[in-house]
């Protein structure tokens, strides 16, 4: 029995030291990078959605004039503008602006466009 426990402790210790060597402690880094990237530059998928949202108001001018937080169901206002991915995103209200700013990717991915 005692021998078995020793083997387990040895295995745990070797796992632990492997972890230290490989750098499991840095696992948080990609997450932080992702969060930074989120605010500054949208991914390709989001850019495609932004382009569609821009075109959906009949005017390709890098201004999305419908409220993205309301899934383009409301008119946005220049008073509530967020600049994202090179687009001026007009939201309909301060609340929608906050919601969009908090998680623009989520708001964009909630949009759907007729094919």
Residues 70-89 touching Zn ion, rule: CB under 5 A, are 70, 74
> Which residue stretch of 27-35, 36-44, 45-53, 93-101 sits at the interface with Zn ion (rule: CB under 5 A)?
93-101
Q: Does 111 bind Zn ion (CB under 5 A)?
A: no
Q: What are the CA-CA distances from residue 81 to residues 15, 33, 89, 98 (Å)?
A: 51, 25, 5, 10
Contact between 47 and Zn ion by CB under 5 A: the answer reads no
Q: Is 69 in the site for Zn ion (CB under 5 A)?
A: yes
DSSP secondary structure string for all residues of 35-103 = HHHHHH---HHHHHHHHHHHHHTT--SSEE-B-TTTTT-SB--GGGEEEETTEEEE-SSHHHHHHHHH-
Stretch that binds Zn ion, among 33-41, 61-69, 81-89, 106-114 (CB under 5 A): 61-69
Given the rule CB under 5 A, which residues bind Zn ion?
67, 69-70, 74, 92, 96
């Amino acid at each position: 029995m005692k021998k078995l426990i020793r083997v387990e402790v040895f295995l745990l210790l070797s796992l632990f030291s492997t972890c230290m060597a490989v750098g499991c402690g840095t696992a948080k880094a990609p997450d932080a990078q992702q969060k930074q990237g989120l605010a500054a530059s949208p991914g390709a998928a989001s850019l495609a959605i932004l382009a569609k949202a821009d075109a959906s108001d009949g005017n390709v001018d890098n201004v999305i004039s419908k409220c993205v937080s309301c899934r383009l169901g409301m008119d946005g206002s220049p008073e509530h503008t967020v600049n994202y991915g090179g687009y001026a995103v007009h939201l309909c209200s301060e609340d929608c602006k906050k919601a969009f700013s908090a998680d623009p990717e989520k708001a964009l991915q909630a949009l759907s466009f007729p094919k």
